[in-house]
Amino acid sequence: MTKKEIIWRHILIRALEKKQPTFTQKEIAQYFKISTSTVFNALKAPRKLGAVEVTGRFFRLTDAEKLLILWATMRNITKDIQYSTYVPGFTAKIEGNTTGDTIFGAFSAYRLKYNDAPADYDQVYIYSDNLEELKKRFPPIKNKQQTENLFVLKPDHFLSSFGHITPDVQTFVDIWNIPKWYAKDFLNSLKEKLNI
């Protein structure tokens, strides 16, 4: 994930979950220990789209859905895949065998958070840096005929602050970028959960 995306995630979570749509460049820069110019550049595209407005000294997220869709279209999930393999068995069993530091993403994140799934899914996306242990538990594919169903993504430094499940906005943009027929059902449900 780029710094821009991390900033967008932060703004969306503040607005949608914490009901705080206003923010300053300075507070975001201080929070992430980055320059205000990096924050300013991250806000260029959302401002151009009308998703973020400048009001005096503050910025205000005026259209969360627009920013979320912008992020979803910019997200390059393939670039974040560190490891992928095929694991026999159903998805819940794969999820159960992951390491203690795993952060569940995409379909798994939805199911584990809401104890439900709008559709059956057959791929598991997780965030983890613990590749050595994961490769022991889920060895590389031997038979090239098999299609991968476990994808290990590189987490950014701030993702673990959300616990063992990605926040809904992250879940949304990740699923948006997964070309599976059942992704649409999850996205529709998430839109309802996010109230957008």
Edge-to-edge order in the sheet of strand 81-85: 81-85, 150-153, 124-127, 103-105
Q: What sign for the dihedral angle of Cα 126, 32, 168, 196?
A: negative
Which region, judged by CB under 8 A, interacts with another protein, from 54-62, 76-84, 87-95, 168-176?
Answer: 87-95
- 86 vs 162 by CB, closer to another protein: 162
Q: Which of 177, 164, 178 is nearest to 126 (CA)?
A: 164
Among 18, 100, 144, 179, binds another protein (CB under 8 A): 100
Q: Which 125-144 positions form the footprint of another protein (CB under 8 A)?
A: 130
Q: Which 20-49 positions form the footprint of another protein (CB under 8 A)?
A: none
Residue 193 makes contact with another protein by CB under 8 A: no
Helix (H) or strand (E) holding 83: strand 81-85
CB atoms within 10 A of CB 16: 22
Find the shortest distance in angstroms from Cβ 102 to another protein: 5
Find the shortest distance in angstroms from Cβ 98 to another protein: 5
Residue 179 makes contact with another protein by CB under 8 A: no
Residue 119 makes contact with another protein by CB under 8 A: no
Measure the CA–CA gap between 94 and 110, rounded to whole angstroms. 15
Among 25, 102, 123, 170, binds another protein (CB under 8 A): 102
Residue 85 makes contact with another protein by CB under 8 A: no
- 22 vs 99 by CB, closer to another protein: 99
Residue 106 makes contact with another protein by CB under 8 A: no
- What's the CA angle centered on 129, arms 124 and 134, to 5 degrees? 55
Largest CA distance in the chain: 60
- 59 vs 186 by CB, closer to another protein: 186
Measure the CA–CA gap between 153 and 104, rounded to whole angstroms. 10
Measure the CA–CA gap between 62 and 47, rounded to whole angstroms. 10
Residues that bind another protein (CB under 8 A): 90-93, 95-102, 104, 111-112, 115, 130, 163-165
